[in-house]
């Protein structure tokens, strides 16, 4: 359904803010709170209107948001930091688990530097061991995220090529 497609929302300064659905984007445009920058999905037809379906909108007013240096550590933030990839085998998946590099029962802490995304298979193989003991190598050293906190799922970027010029990597 067209009304459920993702739409990239930009601040007045063209800074990416978040992703909403077409339905919300059309309401914002109708209320003159946003303008459409990209039409990547066709048109919605009503009884007397032909509405272009936006892919990227820009807000009419500047939304101030704090740029926090210390991000709250949640499952979602860990998966986002690791780009939804298992940090042992590199498999991209939506069904990931959290793995403590140094198991908690052996003194490992629940910190950015000790928690990674892992697929269920790799997490079972590693079990309560360190990566060295399980003969598994981490793809990257875990740490605090470097991203700006933009709320989007990486899979959208592949589907929405028109977003590329608005997203900073």
* 24 exposure class (CB count in 10 Å sphere: 0-12, 13-18, 19+): middle
Q: What is the pLDDT of residue 165?
A: 83
pLDDT band at 117 (very low <50, low <70, confident <90, very high): very high
pLDDT band at 156 (very low <50, low <70, confident <90, very high): low
d(CA 81, CA 144): 8
pLDDT band at 110 (very low <50, low <70, confident <90, very high): very high
Token code pair at residue 132: 């060295």
Q: What is the pLDDT of residue 168?
A: 64
Q: Which percentage of the chain shows pLDDT scores above 90?
A: 50
Instruction: Write out pLDDT tens, residues 40-95.
Output: 778 888 888 888 899 999 999 998 876 666 678 888 889 888 989 999 999 998 88
What are the percentages of helix, strand and coil residues in the chain, rounded to 5? 25, 25, 55
Token code pair at residue 136: 């598994």
d(CA 131, CA 117): 13
Q: What is the pLDDT of residue 56?
A: 92
* Domain residue spans of the chain: 2-66+152-166, 75-126
Q: What is the pLDDT of residue 73?
A: 87
CA 162 to chain centre: 17
Q: Per mean pLDDT, which range of 16-20, 33-37, 106-110 is the poorest?
A: 16-20
* 54 exposure class (CB count in 10 Å sphere: 0-12, 13-18, 19+): buried
């Amino acid at each position: 359904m067209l009304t459920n497609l993702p739409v990239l929302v930009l601040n007045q300064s063209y800074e990416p803010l978040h992703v909403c659905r077409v339905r919300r984007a059309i309401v914002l445009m109708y209320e003159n709170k946003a303008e459409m920058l990209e039409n990547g999905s066709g048109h919605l037809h009503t009884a007397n209107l032909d509405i272009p379906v936006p892919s990227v909108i820009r807000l009419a007013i500047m939304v101030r948001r704090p740029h926090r240096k210390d991000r709250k550590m949640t499952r979602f933030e860990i998966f986002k930091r690791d780009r939804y990839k298992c940090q042992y085998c590199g498999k991209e998946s939506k069904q990931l688990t959290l793995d403590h590099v140094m198991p908690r029962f052996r003194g490992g802490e629940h910190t950015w530097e000790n928690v990674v995304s892992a697929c269920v298979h790799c997490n079972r193989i590693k079990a309560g061991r360190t990566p060295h003991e399980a003969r598994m190598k981490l793809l990257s050293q875990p740490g605090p995220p470097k991203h700006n906190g933009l709320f989007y799922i990486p899979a959208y970027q592949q589907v929405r090529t028109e977003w590329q010029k608005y997203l900073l990597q």
